[in-house]
Amino acid sequence: MFGVVKSTVIDGVEFEDETESIVVSVRPRKGAKQRCGMCQRRCPRYHHGEGRRRWRGPDLGLLRSFLEADAPRVTCGEHGVVVASVPWARHGARHTRVFEDTIAWMATRTYLLKEQLREVFALKGEQGKQLLDRWLSWARRRRIPAFVHLAQRIARHREAIDATPDHRLSNGLVESTNTKIRLLTRMAFGFKSPEAMIALAMLNLGGCCPPLPRPSRRVNRPTEPAGEPFSGRSS
Tell me: does residue 91 bind Zn ion (CB under 5 A).
Answer: no
Distance CA 75, CA 197 (A): 68
Tell me: does residue 45 bind Zn ion (CB under 5 A).
Answer: no
Tell me: does residue 75 bind Zn ion (CB under 5 A).
Answer: no
Q: Are 228 and 204 in contact (CB under 8 A)?
A: no
Q: Contacting Zn ion (CB under 5 A), which of 14, 20, 59, 78?
A: 78
Looking at residue 72, the DSSP 8-state letter turns out to be: -
Residue number with CB closer to Zn ion (39 or 144)? 39
Phi, psi of 5 (to 5 degrees): -120, 175
Tell me: does residue 74 bind Zn ion (CB under 5 A).
Answer: no
Give the nearest distance from C-beta 7 to Zn ion in angstroms. 18
Tell me: does residue 79 bind Zn ion (CB under 5 A).
Answer: yes
Q: Which residues pair with 15 in a beta bridge?
A: 22
Start-end of H helices in the chain: 97-122, 125-142, 145-156, 158-161, 163-167, 172-187, 194-205
Tell me the pairing of strands 21-28 and 45-47. unpaired
**Listed ranges 29-37, 91-99, 134-142, 155-163: which one lies at the site for Zn ion (CB under 5 A):** 29-37
Residue number with CB closer to Zn ion (4 or 76)? 76
Residue number with CB closer to Zn ion (79 or 140)? 79
Residue number with CB closer to Zn ion (5 or 39)? 39
Tell me: does residue 83 bind Zn ion (CB under 5 A).
Answer: no
Give the nearest distance from C-beta 96 to Zn ion in angstroms. 22
Distance CA 20, CA 32 (A): 30
Tell me: does residue 38 bind Zn ion (CB under 5 A).
Answer: yes
Which of these, 121, 118, 111, lies nearest to 142 by C-alpha position? 111
Residue number with CB closer to Zn ion (76 or 86)? 76
List contacts with Zn ion (CB under 5 A): 36, 38-39, 76, 78-79
